Amino acid sequence: MLLNVENLRVSYGKIKALHGISFNIDAGEIVTIIGANGAGKSTTLRAVSRMVPVGKGSAMTCMGKDLLSFAADKVVSQLGITHVPEGRRLFGNLTVMENLQLATFARKDRDNVRKDIRRVFEIFPRLEERKSQASGTMSGGEQQMLAIGRAFMSGRRLMLLDEPSMGLSPLLMMNVFQALKEINRQEGTAILLVEQNARLALKFSQKGYVLENGNLVLEGDSETLINDPEVKKAYLGG
């Protein structure tokens, strides 16, 4: 097992966002968490990437190591877990190339860095065409590609993706998801995806969880969830 999460609790002040959720991800697996606005999807990713503190009794391990003993930067550099947040958070004044290079500052294998940049450009040819452009001036879809490319550069055991389909045209959405599949297949990168576009997310993944008001209420293989009458009614538009 790659990631095991038990009884994960997160609060923001008095607001309880996660009430003790448990889930797991195998190496190379694609897992999706679906849920309505405010269900706690982003919070789940923030907890795994150690961006928010977790409550008492929460336990998380990555390859058997206690994830809670790693600070956020070490989660990336030592465990290879990268987080592509909602809204992408690029350095808008920096070029595409500079954003990719910045993601590698903690890496010591400089030869591989060059190889990986070539890989990112193979996966997203659009980024190579735009490599000298300030990232803030690129389209939403191009910025999403860059955010994923940047995650690819910094570590690729597990990618945490927050609403990668947000704001993308159907065509670009397919491009981005195809690229993610390719990364998953070729590099064995596991993916934890949170999405409001539940149909797309479930089709893309092997396993899914349904999050409601900070609780996981349903889990199963994606095929089963897609055909579940309750899931259909609540998340797939009937």
The encoded tokens of residue 226 equal 């897609």
Q: Give the residue with the Cβ less far from ligand ATP, 35 or 155.
A: 35
- Residues 220 and 223: their CA atoms lie apart, in Å, by 8
Residues that bind ligand ATP (CB under 6 A): 12, 15, 17, 35, 37-43, 196
| Element housing 96 (H / E) | helix 96-102
Distances (CA, A) of 158 to 188, 191, 231: 9, 6, 26
Residue 113 sits at φ, ψ, to 5 deg, of -60, -45
Pick the closer one to ligand ATP by CB: 35 or 208: 35
Contact 112, 120 (CB under 8 A): no
Q: Whats the size of the chain, residue-wise?
A: 238
- Between 12 and 91, name the residue whose CB sits nearer to ligand ATP: 12
Distance in Å, CB of 47 to ligand ATP, minimum: 9
Question: Closest distance between ligand ATP and the C-beta of residue 9, in Å?
Answer: 12
Provide, rounded to whole angstroms, the least separation between the CB of residue 172 and ligand ATP. Answer: 20
In terms of CB distance, is 196 or 215 closer to ligand ATP?
196
- Smallest distance, ligand ATP to C-beta of residue 232, A: 19
Is the separation of the CB atoms in 28 and 189 below 8 Å?
yes
List CB contacts of 147: < 8 A, sequence separation 6 or more. Answer: 84, 88, 89, 90
Cβ closest to ligand ATP, residue 63 vs residue 166: 166
At its nearest, how many Å lie between ligand ATP and the CB of residue 115? Answer: 35
The backbone torsions φ and ψ at residue 40, rounded to the nearest 5 degrees and listed phi first, read: 115, 15
